[in-house]
Structure 1
């Protein structure tokens, strides 16, 4: 379900089927994390994306987009370059700044709903 209009929609996040979204092997620090996701909506110009994302346990690096998300299930610790740490778990809303360098330590498979501005 990807749409380019502003139609309303509802998705039961815990049961939504996700598709493979392989990590760049250079991002994997330890473990064998697997990423899946699903774009639910994308603006016609591709500059806004709303969707679901999931990662299994492991440690990965990332360079973030301008993103607001809410964790639905699972747990992770995210270390931000410069020293701050975010503890993520069910019900936690978080914002990441574009270009921010992070290290994600995923303790339990984490699933989130997100909105990204590119």
Structure 2
């Protein structure tokens, strides 16, 4: 969505039909397969700390360092493994909370689409 939503008090998007834009993964993040990531940022706070959007990944395995995030899975299935041994199995209708700085390994079994809100520390 390239339209400016900052001037409106609210809006709605049909998540299943939203067109997402490709996001390049760092080659070092890819552990297995040929996963592709895409995203649509719906809104961002003026200071850039809070981002809301739609994110999708095709099957494969990647590593990541998480933001402070809450997300709801709309479709697909994934296993999220944390360095401390915690494992999350997520699928349609699941809500998950991630802690900033957590190191994870995402195994996407079926293309995963989620809606998220993430809070990040400003670069400084």
Report if TM-score (shorter chain) is over 0.5: yes
Say whether the 8 Å CA contact 1:72–1:112 is kept in structure 2. Answer: yes
Q: Using the alignment, how far apart are the partners of 2:78 and 2:107 within structure 1?
A: 5
* Equivalent residue in structure 1 for 2:34, among 27, 32, 35: 32
| Residue in structure 2 matched with residue 109 of structure 1 by the alignment | 111
Kindly name which structure, 1 or 2, has the bigger radius of gyration based on alpha carbons.
2
Q: Tell me how large the CA RMSD over aligned residues is.
A: 1.2
Q: How many residues align?
A: 118
* Equivalent residue in structure 1 for 2:91, among 89, 94, 100: 89
Deviation at 1:7, TM superposition (A): 2.5
Say whether the 8 Å CA contact 1:4–1:42 is kept in structure 2. Answer: no
Q: 1:46 to 1:4 in 2, by over 3 A?
A: farther
| Residue in structure 2 matched with residue 10 of structure 1 by the alignment | 12
Q: TM-score, normalised by structure 2?
A: 0.91
* Equivalent residue in structure 1 for 2:64, among 62, 65, 68: 62
Ranges in structure 2 where 5+ consecutive residues have no aligned partner:
none
| Residue in structure 2 matched with residue 53 of structure 1 by the alignment | 55
Ranges in structure 1 where 5+ consecutive residues have no aligned partner:
none
| Residue in structure 1 matched with residue 24 of structure 2 by the alignment | 22
- SS of the residue aligned with 2:89? strand
Q: TM-score, normalised by structure 1?
A: 0.96
Q: Using the alignment, how far apart are the partners of 2:69 and 2:8 within structure 1?
A: 19
